[in-house]
Amino acid sequence: MKIVMLGAPGAGKGTQARLISEKYGIPQISTGDIFRANIRENTELGQRAKSYMDQGLLVPDEVTCDLVVDRIRREDCANGYILDGFPRTIPQAMALTRSLEAQGTKIDYAIDVEVPDDNIVQRMSGRRACPKCGATFHIRYKMPAQEGICDFCGTALIQREDDHAETVQKRLDVYHSQTQPLIEYYKEMGVLHSVDGTRNMDTVFNSICEALNES
Ligand code: AP5
Ligand code: MG
């Protein structure tokens, strides 16, 4: 099962991708998490990515596409995967399609988590993220068992640097101009499923599972 998660920054792609990964036993591949891990380790890729991420801009396609194409060829992806945050531009989607076609396969589901911009700004200000395992929490909607500590790995939670209000607005602008066209791209491919992401996390997850089981 090969799944692409679509949706604005903060729509809940990461939250839902983690739940899908646990239920179906396939890896969650988040380009944002990969870049953040590289920033933490101060790699060359991390230094390059940081200059774009801090401004709310996209990391260039030539960097991102090779990274994902290599990652999905690894052994743990044999039964499928969930791409969380990739593709984000039409050239990225085309590179992914081409790479899968070369292996005689294709994306099975594109799940678009729909949340209006107003809700997003409110969600981002309350998000807390684990810098080690990438899990996300919310100070009101998804509190960790122990305040400020990741439920999964015990690391102290942080507020992401790109979650400041001005950067969130920039990320939303970039989303509308560069990423939203992917909804039409996957609709034409016949694999698009849209879910209302404004409902609580469990309800959103149930809708996604229905979409995955139905088709
Ligand atoms: P990335 O890390 O992918 O960030 P994003 O797309 O902006 O999305 P987020 O991770 O912010 O949100 P999400 O949809 O995962 O929501 P979450 O589940 O956390 O990318 C960061 C940067 O990296 C980009 O700006 C870019 O620079 C670069 N990058 C990454 N991929 C790239 C690519 N392919 N090409 C180029 N550049 C790339 O939820 C948000 C909050 O809301 C959480 O606190 C959560 O607990 C809460 N929440 C979730 N669901 C609900 C709900 N139903 N109700 C209430 N609260 C909820
Ligand atoms: Mg995310």
Name the catalytic one among 71, 142, 160, 170. 160
User: Relative to the alpha carbon of 50, which ligand is closest?
Assistant: 1
Domain containing residue 156: 2-214
* The total number of structural domains that make up the chain: 1
Of 157, 105, 95, nearest to 131 (Cα)?
A: 157
| pLDDT tens figures, 125-151 | 899 999 999 899 999 999 999 999 999
Atom of ligand 1 nearest to the CA of 174: 25
Chain centroid, CA 192 distance in Å: 16
Per this entry, what is the length of the chain? 215
pLDDT exceeds cutoff 80 at 215: no
CA of 44 to the centre of ligand 1 (A): 23
189 pLDDT band, cuts 50/70/90, is very high
Say if pTM beats, i.e. exceeds, 0.75.
yes
Query: Any bridge partners for residue 134, and if so which?
Result: none
Return the beta strands (E) in 156-215 as ranges: 192-196
CA distances in angstroms from 55 to 92, 139, 150, 153, 187, listed in the order given: 20, 24, 27, 29, 30
Average model confidence (pLDDT) for the chain? 95
Round to whole Å and give the CA distance between 109 and 7. 14
CATH of the domain at 201: 3.40.50.300
165 pLDDT band, cuts 50/70/90, is confident
68 pLDDT band, cuts 50/70/90, is very high
User: Does ligand 1 have an atom closer than 6 angstroms to the CB of 175?
Assistant: no
User: Does ligand 1 have an atom closer than 6 angstroms to the CB of 12?
Assistant: yes
